Amino acid sequence: MHSRPRSLGPLGLSARLLALLLGGVALTLLLIGGLLFLRVRDFGDAQARQLTAGGLALIARSAQAEDDAQTRLYAAYQDLAATALASGTWGVLVLSAPSADCPDAQGHPSALCYTDTAPHPELPAAAAQSARQLGTGQWALPGNAGTLFLRPLSGDLLAGLATPGNVGGRLALGVTGSYALIAAGALALLALIGARLLRLGLRPLRDMAARARTLGAGDLSARLPLPRAQDEVASLAGSLNQMLGRLQEAFGRLETEEARTRTFVADASHELRTPLAAMQGSLEILERLALDESDKARETRARLLDNLRRETRRAARLVGDLLLLSKLDAGEPLRGEPTDLGELLRAEVARSADLAPQVQFEVQAPSLSAWADRTRVAGALHNLLSNAATYSPPGAVVRAELRREGDRAVLSVSNPATLPPAFLPRLFDRFARGPQTRQGDGGSGLGLSIVQATARAHGGDTFAAQEEGELRVGFTLPLEGPGDAPA
Map out the domains of the chain with their CATH numbers. Answer: 7-215 (no CATH), 243-332 (1.10.287.130), 336-478 (3.30.565.10)
pLDDT of residue 1: 42
Q: Residue 229 carries which DSSP code?
A: S
Q: What is the mean pLDDT of residues 32-43?
A: 87
Specify the amino acid at residue 349: V
Mean pLDDT to the nearest integer, 337-360: 92
Distance CA 461, CA 478 (A): 10
Residue 486 has pLDDT above 60, yes or no: no
Stretch 176-198: mean pLDDT:
86
Mean pLDDT computed over 393-416 = 93
pLDDT(260) > 60? no
* Three-class SS state of 476: strand
Instruction: Give the per-residue pLDDT at 274.
Output: 59
Local structure of 410: helix, strand or coil = strand
User: In the prediction, which pLDDT does 271 show?
Assistant: 62
Q: What is the pLDDT of residues 273-309, one digit of tens each?
A: 656 676 777 677 767 777 777 777 778 777 777 777 7
Distance CA(294)–CA(288), nearest Å, equals 13
pLDDT in the model for residue 149? 87
pTM above 0.75, yes or no: no
The arithmetic mean of pLDDT across residues 239-263, rounded, is: 67
The Cα-based distances of 267 to 71, 262, 283 in angstroms read 94, 8, 25
* 109-114 β-sheet, strand order: 109-114, 91-103, 157-164, 146-154, 137-140
> Which residue has better confidence, 435 or 472?
472
Q: Shortest CA distance to 190 belongs to which of 36, 31, 23, 13? A: 23
In the predicted structure, residue 264 carries a pLDDT above the cut 50:
yes
Query: What is the reported pLDDT for 447?
Result: 79
State the pLDDT at residue 2: 47
pLDDT at 481: 55
Quick one: three-class SS letters along 249-291? HHHHHHHHHHHHHHHHHHHHHHHHHHHHHHHHHHHHHHHHCCC
